[in-house]
Amino acid sequence: MEFSSKLLEKAVNEMSQLPGIGKRTALRLILHLLKQPAEQTQFLSNALTTMREEIKFCSSCHNISDEAVCEICKNTSRNHKIICVVEDVRDVMAIENTNQYKGIYHVLGGKISPIDGIGPSQLNINSLVNKVKLGHIDEIIFALSSTMEGDTTNFYIFKQIKDFDLKTSTIARGIAVGDELEYADEVTLGRSIVNRIPFENSLKNI
C-alpha cells in the first residue's frame, strides 16, 4: 500500500496491529476520523491512554477494575462462598448479563494451552487454590469454554482442590462444545449456571 503521507501511513500501521483489522480497514477508520472534528480523535486517544494507564486488576478475583478491589468483590450482598471460575473479563460480563448468578468470580486470564506456550504458572491458578485452602469456600463452579484447553484447565484445578471440603460443579452444557461463553445467549447461559452439574459428572466426557 502506497501512502501519500508518512503521518497517514504511521496511523494506519498502528491501527492495523489490532486483531481483525487489516490495512484496508485501518485506512477506512483513519480516513473516517479525518472527516470528523479533531476533538473526536482527541477523545478516542485520551480514552485509550487513560484506560491503559489507570486500569487495574482486582487484587482478589483478577477482574478488570477501576479500583484495587472490583465492584463485585466489594459487594457484601453477593455470596462470597461461591466462586465461578472463568477465562477472562468477557465471561464475567456475559454471566453478569444473565442476572442469574450472585456469587463472586475468579478470572484465570486464559486457559492452559501448550501449543500457545501457556502453562498453569502464567494463569491466576495459585491464588484460587490459596482461597480454597483458607477454607471459606462452599462451591467452585467451572465456567470455561468447553474446548480441550478449557477441559484441561478445569481438570488441572480440580486435581488441586478435590481433597478439600467443598462442592465443585460445571455449568450445564446447553452450550455446544467449542462455543465461547460470551456468544451464548443470556437465557441459555443463565440456565446453564442455574442447572449446573457436579464436576465429576463431566469427567467421563474427557
Residues that bind Zn ion (CB under 5 A): 58, 60-61, 63, 70, 73
Position of cell 442476572?
99
- Cβ distance 64 to 87 under 8 Å? no
**What are φ and ψ of residue 16, in 5° steps?**
-75, 0
CB 27 within 8 A of CB 7: no
Q: Which is nearer to Zn ion, 86 or 175 (CB)?
A: 86
Shortest separation between residue 36's beta carbon and Zn ion, angstroms: 36
Cβ at position 68, least distance to Zn ion in Å: 9
- In whole angstroms, how close is the CB of 58 to Zn ion at the nearest point? 3
Least distance in angstroms from the C-beta of 96 to Zn ion: 12
**Residue whose C-alpha cell is 480523535:** 41
70 or 189, CB closer to Zn ion?
A: 70
Q: How far is the CB of 104 from Zn ion (least distance, A)?
A: 7
| Closer residue to Zn ion, CB minimum distance, 106 or 191 | 106
CB of 93 closer than 8 Å to CB of 182: yes
Q: How far is the CB of 187 from Zn ion (least distance, A)?
A: 26
How does DSSP assign 55-106, residue by residue?
-EE-TTT--EESSSS-HHHH-TTSEEEEEEEESSHHHHHHHHHHT---EEEE
Shorter beta-carbon distance to Zn ion: residue 26 or 86: 86
One-letter amino acid identity for 66? Answer: D
Q: Cβ closer to Zn ion: 15 or 70?
A: 70
Which lies closer to Zn ion via its Cβ, residue 70 or residue 108?
A: 70
